[in-house]
Amino acid sequence: MSLFDLLFRRANPSLTKENGEPKTSGELIAEVTGGANLVDGKQTWEHADTNKDDIEVMKRCCDAELKTMESAGLVSAPFYFERVAILSRKQKNYRQEVEYCERYIQAVEKFYQAPGCEGHADVRKGPRYQAIVARLPKAKELLGANP
């Protein structure tokens, strides 16, 4: 089900706040997904600058992005998965790096194979997705050398 369907056919939330201001897309998504896109009460994007070096927050953002993708039909942002991969490598946690790269790649491939995803911007063509794909072989190599 697309975000449009969620907003206007199923959930039908109000498009304005109590003070009359329009709700942001993030607020609408949080409303129709039961807060799937929230981490510690904030939109995932709100953690991008302030918590980009906190691997636990980035992992929770990954989970939130996947839940949002599943419930709202919006493809997950690759930023959080790339950050977990980078931070995992710095910690020499190659198993975790491989896991998060593979989780993201598999989720995105599944998303674009599903009917009704035509017209969605293809993140697979973007530099962050490509960076995740490119780092996976090296992460597997490092994991194999350091099991």
Judge whether residue 142 has pLDDT over 60: yes
The DSSP bridge partners found for residue 42 are 39
pTM, rounded to two decimals: 0.82
If one compares 98 and 24, the residue with the highest pLDDT of the two is: 98
Place of tokens 């790269």: 101
Tokens of 28: 């609408």
Q: Rounded to an integer, what distance in angstroms lies between the CA atom of residue 34 and that of residue 37? A: 8
Helix %, strand %, coil % for the chain, to 5?
65, 5, 30
Q: Which residue has the higher pLDDT, 97 or 26?
A: 97
Predicted confidence (pLDDT) per residue in 8-53, tens digit: 444 455 777 777 778 777 787 777 778 888 899 999 999 999 999 9
